[in-house]
Amino acid sequence: MSYHSNLSSAATLPTIYRHRSIRKFTDEALTDEQREAIWEAGRAASSSSFMQSVHIIRVTDMEKRAALSEVAANQKYVRTAAEFWVFCVDYTKHKLAVPEAQLDWTEGMIIGAVDAGIMAQNCLLAAESLGLGGVYIGSLRNDVQRAAELLELPQLTFPLFGLCLGYPAQDPMYRPRLPLDTLVSENRYRPLDPAKLAAYDEQLTVYYRERSGLDLNWSKAVANNFAQPVRPQILPFLHQQGLAKR
């Protein structure tokens, strides 16, 4: 049975093209109808082999929100957004349905992560079409053990990322993306043209300088993100949860 909402929403392509990450929100709350419409949009998302291996936790306990904000590099909008949801890989329902199911393969984790990403993007686009804004919170994985404890996650689950939602209290600059012809090729992989990378770095240098006075571009961001071990606690935690063991 399909879900029908009486809410008025913006057209799809303009909504997608207007996307900005929103980190400042008004105090206005979402309605129950808005939440349900957004969740239904997520539920309608594609799912690998129809495994539907995702669980969303809506966090309304403000003490828990504050603790999760600390886990997520003290990003205050985790506390201040009207809504904060955590998207988890979830195989507990599969274990319940089929106790002998082999759920510890790495492919299973990939399936869950892909499903969660698709579902979350459906949710965010639906929210944006309703005049809301949001931002993903991947830094929940900074201390994935603590995040899991706060959310009381059982075995065969993993907290992938959070999503803040609310009414925007800012209109940030558009962050230029890599040129389309550096992201799409035909029939075979086409390596990135160094000249196009240099031009893109120059474009982003201007963006970061104007937005926040930072001396930053895409190449420098890559260097910053991958100059040291990247959350090495993730693999042991996955194994602890009974995931990605082989």
pLDDT of residue 4: 67
What pLDDT, in 10s, does the model give residues 211-232?
Answer: 999 999 999 999 999 999 999 9
Pair of tokens at residue 110: 């990939």
Q: Residue 173: count other Cβ atoms within 10 Å of its Cβ.
A: 11
CATH, range 12-172: 3.40.109.10
Tell me, rounded to whole angstroms, the distance of Cα 136 from its chain centroid: 4
The pTM (predicted TM-score) of the whole model is: 0.95
φ, ψ dihedrals at 136, nearest 5°: -80, 150
Query: Which residues of the chain does CATH 3.40.109.10 include?
Result: 12-172
**Residue 1 confidence (pLDDT) above 60:** no
C-alpha to C-alpha distance for 148 and 141, rounded to whole angstroms: 9
Going by their DSSP bridges, the two strands 54-58 and 133-137 should be labelled as unpaired
